[in-house]
Amino acid sequence: MSAVALLLLCVAALLAVAAASVALAARRHDGASATRWIYGATLAVSGFGFLVALTALLGAPGAPSRITLPLGLPWIGARFRVDALAAFFLMVVNLGGALASLYALGYGRHEETPYRVLPCYAAFLAGMNLVVLADDAFSFLLAWEFMSLASWALVMTGHREPQNTRAGYVYLMMAGFGGFALLLAFGLMAGAEGGYAFDAMRASGHPPLVVALALALTLVGAGSKAGLAPLHVWLPLAHPAAPSHVSALMSGVMTKVAVYGFIRIVFDLLGEPAWWTGMIVLALGGATAVLGILHALMESDLKRMLAYSTIENIGVIFAGLGLALAFKANGMTAPAALALTAALFHVLNHSFFKSLLFFGAGAVLTATGTRDMEKLGGLIHRMPVTSVVFLVGCVAISALPPLNGFASEWLLFQAIIESPDLPQWGLKIMVPAVGGMLALAAALAAACFVRAYGIAFLGQPRSALARDAHEVDGFSRAAMAALAGLCVLAGVLPGLAIDALSPVALSLGGARMPMQGAVAWLSIIPIAESRSSYNGLLVLVFIAFSATLAAWAVHRFASRALRRAPAWAAAFPTWTRPCSTPPPASRNRCAGCSGRWRSPPASGWTCPRRATPARPAIAPRAATGYGTRSMRRSPARSRPPPSGSTCCNSSPYGAI
């Protein structure tokens, strides 16, 4: 049986699972057992679909697998096709679906209304598969709208909360607007003859005006679904509103289906690109990357921060695609293959670490009941497994070696280095400028996730919710650990992924990167070994050796002696009610508690050991004449306290 037939059977199985969940809901079946059966079935079907897609990708040099069903438009039927590009994105969709189903086996037990999620979840997976399989405009648009409606229903799961209702409304409006733009784009490419089959669109030559209009409409239709600025407004609203495993699918997988739609139309159906198309896509990609990460830096909601970070990574992917268009238009096939491979590799990597981070956010939400990072803290002691895998995701998304985010972005920067050979001055100026924007976005991403991890997992708990947190179930931990392992594997051995992507680059750009499997020491070589190379395995060994050596040196040579000293309150007094035993003015210590006295910015004898905290208005500091230096005076030099002094033990940070 062909690959396309097997994958269509997977789609049929997912639709059957959705229908079965509706039947279970009608019979008021137990929600917990239905959750296990439904998510177990989607795990099995998605896992099988992943294996079929991976086999088709690795065996892609042959002819594409096709099938036509007697459905859809009467004169063309419903056409489905699996080539190298479709096989790669089907692999991303089904791997993400399988791991999300594994995670949901544990996370789904906490759903208050499971039957609002289960039917639409399986239908959502089926819709994403159908979009990638479609080989005519009618089937593509029908599957696209089906995917959008299923995901909208999942966003509206918590419809009783006003912000979720608003998120669903905005998402539905943007989805309808994007679908209409794609309808117009396909209509332009089909022409007056009505050639809605993708083969007919490839064969017909499109005039420049049609190419320009179709590109603009595709950027609106596919770009709005992917989160390309300025059409990203729905994404930070809808992704946090959905359940966490659905958020992982929407951010890590559905946005990649939108990227697939853009690649299919612009790289495949429109024919040879013009050089200015690369400039437009490059500019939008660079602006999207910087805008998304700047918004993420200002967020305190964990899932909204991850949603804005998705916008940044979509900008990185579109920058790579724009660079590939520019190189391809000028006949530079080797740099075009490098830029396209970097973009596709980042598609895969982002599906790994963004799904991992959304799973981690869901684990934190399950354990604490809040997404507000300001109410978290200290979770590394209460959720050790989640904290470790979330740290892996943070390092990967920050593009730090030796994990996978660095490998794909490093390839993209290597493609940017090839830009001086472009003949157009607009591209000569645009490409380095976008490279600088991507470098800025990468640095801000590192700052963003250092902040997020430090606030949420390090330090002390800042609320009772964080203090009472606990580790999540084994299914959730297994899914997160699997994704963390994939992040490490794709970063340490990126040559395996690059070689697997070579059929896609060859079919779309006419060239491929050098074979990486035969390179010594598992290094990767973008263009030629004399120019640059990268070895993730050696970087991992070096980091491990350096960290071990530093830890040994600290433990071997550091002093074990303890020195105790009073803490400094940073000149912030703690106000208390007066002590019942006022000290005489001739002494340096409180008669009630023997504590040394210091000068406050307001009058009144106070002693914290015999008082209850109170906070009156603070008088101006200049009225007292006593500053920080007088507060830190040693006991030997301290003078008798004047009227209006306060016991030093009243500081919330200890004695001074």
Q: With respect to residue 555, please indicate whether it lies within any of the assigned structural domains.
A: no
Verify that 211 and 348 share a domain, yes or no. Answer: yes
DSSP 268: I
Verify that 488 and 620 share a domain, yes or no. Answer: no
pLDDT digits (tens, 9 = 90+) for 109-132: 878 778 889 999 999 999 999 999
Verify that 489 and 444 share a domain, yes or no. Answer: yes
Verify that 540 and 602 share a domain, yes or no. Answer: no
Verify that 368 and 473 share a domain, yes or no. Answer: yes
Q: With respect to residue 81, please indicate whether it lies within any of the assigned structural domains.
A: yes
Look-up: residue for tokens 């399986």?
Answer: 122
Q: With respect to residue 499, please indicate whether it lies within any of the assigned structural domains.
A: yes
What pLDDT is stored for residue 75 in this prediction?
A: 78
Q: Which helix (H) or strand (E) holds 68?
A: strand 65-69
What pLDDT is stored for residue 253 in this prediction?
A: 95
Verify that 515 and 616 share a domain, yes or no. Answer: no
The domain of 122 spans 3-544
pTM for the model: 0.84
Q: With respect to residue 554, please indicate whether it lies within any of the assigned structural domains.
A: no
Q: With respect to residue 525, please indicate whether it lies within any of the assigned structural domains.
A: yes
What pLDDT is stored for residue 394 in this prediction?
A: 95
- Cβ atoms of 488 and 403 within 8 Å: the answer is yes
Q: What does the angle CA 150 – CA 30 – CA 34 come to, to the nearest 5 degrees?
A: 45
- Cβ atoms of 414 and 338 within 8 Å: the answer is yes
Q: Which helix (H) or strand (E) holds 502?
A: helix 494-509
Q: With respect to residue 556, please indicate whether it lies within any of the assigned structural domains.
A: no
Verify that 309 and 209 share a domain, yes or no. Answer: yes
Verify that 646 and 517 share a domain, yes or no. Answer: no
Low-confidence residues of the chain, pLDDT below 50?
A: 571-589, 591-642, 644-656
What pLDDT is stored for residue 625 in this prediction?
A: 39
Q: With respect to residue 434, please indicate whether it lies within any of the assigned structural domains.
A: yes
Mean confidence (pLDDT) of the chain:
85
DSSP reduced 3-state for 67: strand
Domains of the chain: total: 2
How many other C-beta atoms can be found within 10 angstroms of the C-beta atom of residue 374?
12
Q: With respect to residue 585, please indicate whether it lies within any of the assigned structural domains.
A: yes
Distance CA 50, CA 7 (A): 9
Distance CA 618, CA 590 (A): 23
Burial of 530 (0-12, 13-18, 19+ CB in 10 A): exposed
Verify that 537 and 587 share a domain, yes or no. Answer: no
Verify that 642 and 587 share a domain, yes or no. Answer: yes
Nearest Cα residue to 259 out of 133, 339, 347, 172: 347
What pLDDT is stored for residue 254 in this prediction?
A: 95
Distance CA 608, CA 614 (A): 10
pLDDT digits (tens, 9 = 90+) for 451-490: 999 999 998 899 899 998 889 999 999 999 999 999 999 9
What pLDDT is stored for residue 516 in this prediction?
A: 84
- Cβ atoms of 318 and 281 within 8 Å: the answer is yes
State in Å, rounded, how far the first CA of the chain is from the last one. Answer: 80
Verify that 528 and 588 share a domain, yes or no. Answer: no
How many other C-beta atoms can be found within 10 angstroms of the C-beta atom of residue 383?
26
Verify that 574 and 539 share a domain, yes or no. Answer: no
